[in-house]
Amino acid sequence: MEIFKTVFFFVFVLCQLCYAADVLSVDCQPPSIAEGTEGMIIVQKLIPDSPLRCSVTVLPPNKVTANVQQLTLNNNGQIAFKINVIPDGKPGDYEAVLIISCDGQPVFTKKIPVISTDSIVEGDPHFSQLIVDRQTEQIERICYDVSGKSGDYIEIYTHQPTKTYVYGQLLDDYYMHIIKIFSTLGNVTVSTKHVKFNNEVLYAWEESNDIRLYHRGGYMIKIDDNSVTVEVVNKEDMTFRVTRSKHPVTGHYLDFGVFGMLKYDNVDGLLGRIGNNLFKFYDFVQTEDNTKRGTILINGHFAVASKKSKSNSCWLVDVKDVLHPYSITDYILRN
């Protein structure tokens, strides 16, 4: 009897999966959705049958919303609806889940990659940002490594209309130890020891980890544990984050991020220059080590790129290629 129940259960599950695949076709355009944007879900009923009444659920509900909750699919009918991804202010990509339940039974589940729109500079330093494939108009994440000498300043980000500049200084371990944000609103300096506005020390890292909030000039500065969020209070809505991290050997260093960087109008610096380049992705092949390898055309220059295929990682490109025809020395200030 127990064996019969077990066999019946597996047959039931298999039938449900087959039913989902046979009855519905679900497609997402684009296949990956960036935070702050929307995607189109196309649902098609594959078999002529009586109308199918379905409910739509998207997870997590605090990050992803759909403009419909109920669907009625007629014979071989097709319905399209939108899902919107809300920026959560946290770094990192994740997967949203779309569940379409028909007549009370969950018949279709689809995972949709959600791409964080933050541009990130971390480690020694490793840059990561979003760009657009001009062939497909799909959003892709690329990454590249930047090296320099101790004392060098990297021009990370420049916004010309507001005269906002962000520089990161390298020390002898080749990690960033100082981040400086300059603008007509005032200057914010974050080091591994303290946070300053102009010449005023706002916070020393050895103090308690209580949340601190400061309004200085045109900035709102929030300090929470080992991170500093600097919001530029103007119509451009720029938000930066500096995080104090720790290397097990060399000690503390700084990571940097820009929230919501999907468009690069009027943006320069290393992030802006690369974001404004023209990228065209070509066919990639998967190698034995589960890495995809192929070529990207960057401003008419072919470059080799690679990506670990079992993760939501970035396309790794040499900084010389991703900057073509410019040079990294154009964005490094010596001492």
Mean pLDDT for each consecutive 10-residue tract of the chain (335 residues)? 41 40 81 88 81 89 92 81 86 88 78 89 91 90 92 95 94 90 94 94 82 90 90 81 90 91 91 96 77 91 83 84 94 84
User: 2-115 has which fold?
Assistant: Immunoglobulin-like (2.60.40)
Instruction: Reduce the DSSP state of residue 273 to 3 states and report it.
Output: helix
Residue 201: strand pairing partners: 196
Residue 115: its pLDDT value, please?
87
Residue 70: strand pairing partners: 55
- Rounded CA-CA distance 292/278 in Å is 21
What is the β-pairing status of strands 139-145 and 315-316? parallel
Residue 331: its pLDDT value, please?
95
Do residues 333 and 153 touch, judged by C-beta distance below 8 A?
Answer: yes
Residue 45: its pLDDT value, please?
82
Residue 12: its pLDDT value, please?
36
Residue 235: its pLDDT value, please?
63
User: Which residues, at least 6 apart from 260, have a Cβ–Cβ distance to it below 8 Å?
Assistant: 35, 36, 87, 117, 118, 237, 239
Residue 13: its pLDDT value, please?
36
CATH 2.60.40.10: which residues of the chain?
2-115
